[in-house]
Amino acid sequence: MAYIGLLDVFIAFLIFIIFHFLIHKKTHKPFPRNWPILGMLPGVLVMLHKINGYLVEVLEVSNLTFVFKGPWFSGMNMLITADPANVQHVFSSNFSNYDKGSEFKEMFDFLGEGIFTADSKLWEEMRRSSMVMLSHQGFQSFSLKTIASKIKNGLVPVLDHFAKENMVFDLQDVFQRLAFDVTLTLVTGYDSNSLSIEMPKNEYAKAMDDAEEVVVVRHVKPMFVWKLQNWLGLGEEKKMTQANAAFDRSCAKYISAKREEIHQHSTIGEKAHDVDLLKFYMNLDTSKYELLNPKDDSFLKDIIKSFMLAGRDAIATTLTWFFWLLSKNPEALTKIRQEINTYLTRSSDKSLDQDKLSKMVYLHGALCEALRLYAPIPFERKSPIKQDVLPSGHKVDAKWKILFSVYALGRMRAVWGEDASEFKPERWISERNGGLKHEPSFKFFVFNSGPRNCLGKKLSFLQMKIVATEIIRNYDINVLEGHKIEPASSIVLHMKHGLKVKVAKRCLVS
């Protein structure tokens, strides 16, 4: 009975805190209140459903850096920043003193020992091998062939079907399926054909979505709480257990099929021309790389999961926000169509002309604006190895975590000017010569910065440009009136309710 009484008091206290916070927020700056014992966690939990927008408000009025105090003894104290000087210091100038840390690896445990969770020597070796793979001529040729085939045999038939039937559909789902199929083919050589008129369910794709949502919740729970839930299979953690099982089943299937494929080619003396990532790692000369063992299934599974996360989400998320932004800015859409008419002919193959795509400055600027305003990965995280003082003047030690809000950084008026919240592709175009304007990576932080900058940046832009030009010149996309647009609470900035649209074929003059 005494236990029940204490529980009732605790629940009443939590309700009081939340009620008090809601009133407190209306009359004061948007900082969460620092409560005894519970720290600032109650205020953050109240705003978790719109955490990225909330961090914009907090960082805008706190000189770009904010100290978050977690509950006592929870180990959740962290520095939240959108200061480019801090980004440059941590990711470049003093790179050797910062890593992702063991806690980060535990939170993202579904990625195993992949490149996203790796630190130090392991990360160096994985990055070195990845650079070789991405620059491989066979892989580059395979990339272009794959995206062209998927547009022709997947995207175009699906959009034509929706146009003919005048159907309302989720454009985000289409882009996720497109990016999933392309990425899975590049990573494993296997095409799941999830982008088809039937829109079949895919176990692996669902597991990715579930795992990403769970990781966000882990960031606002003490580690012992979510680990206990995981062990017991309760709450959100049950979804992670199910996701990991799905990852294991799918990856085992891809690895087995790839080994059989390699064996068949070697038996009949045939040389395969297409080089997918899985094949590359299976044939890797390990004498050149320490700590890599491509014969180990666990390593290969982690490789698949890491590159699937990087390839699918960045492209699909950016294209979704990009087309929504164009629907709100028809003058930008008109300018992109003018560029397409100037540099590309009616032939669909011409959209793969990299030289002509590179001349489409306004299209590139519009994609950069979508990335700036809606970064696919809305935050990065680092931990100091030893005590340090950041350019912002904040002292950090190994007990602290530093959370970099990529989403907020793209919207800070102190960084981008008073029009920071506006969609303006022109900000990426030089007034002097009309060419692309370069912004340093510690300011435009979407593709990371310093030694850990994104290796797939060039390929991602190329794929997005190819898809964008194909759709913009052949279709009109109309967003459903009244459809609610807001980001999901996930480690990837999906649209929470998707992007409901109708599509119509354009009548083009030859």
Residue ranges of the annotated binding site are 454
Helices (H), 97-234: 101-107, 120-135, 137-150, 156-165, 171-188, 203-218, 223-232
* Longest Cα separation, the chain: 82
Cβ count within 10 A of residue 149: 14
> Which residues does 461 contact at the CB level (< 8 Å), separation at least 6?
364, 367
| Closest listed residue to residue 215, CA positions, set 489, 445, 402, 496 | 489
Token pair for 97: 């003193």
Q: What is the chain's alpha carbon radius of gyration, rounded to the nearest angstrom?
A: 24
- What is the rounded CA–CA span in Å between residue 51 and residue 68? 14
Per the CB < 8 A criterion, the answer to whether 88 and 82 are in contact is: no
Query: How many alpha carbons lie under 13 Å from residue 137 in its C-beta half-sphere?
Result: 1
| Closest listed residue to residue 80, CA positions, set 440, 378, 491 | 378
- What is the rounded CA–CA span in Å between residue 323 and residue 328? 9
String of DSSP letters for 480-501 = PTT----B-SSSS--BTT--EE
Cα separation values, 510 from 163, 164, 239, 345, Å: 21, 22, 52, 9
User: What is the four-CA torsion angle of 296, 300, 301, 305, rounded to 10 degrees?
Assistant: 160
Backbone φ and ψ for 296, nearest 5 degrees, come out as -90, 125
> Which residues does 480 contact at the CB level (< 8 Å), separation at least 6?
168, 500, 501, 502
Q: What 3-state DSSP class applies to 404?
A: strand
| Closest listed residue to residue 44, CA positions, set 95, 8, 80 | 80
> Which residues does 351 contact at the CB level (< 8 Å), separation at least 6?
344, 357, 466, 469, 470
The binding site for heme consists of: 454
Q: What 3-state DSSP class applies to 505?
A: strand
Please state whether beta strands 401-405 and 78-81 pair in parallel, antiparallel, or not at all (unpaired). Answer: parallel
Cβ count within 10 A of residue 304: 25
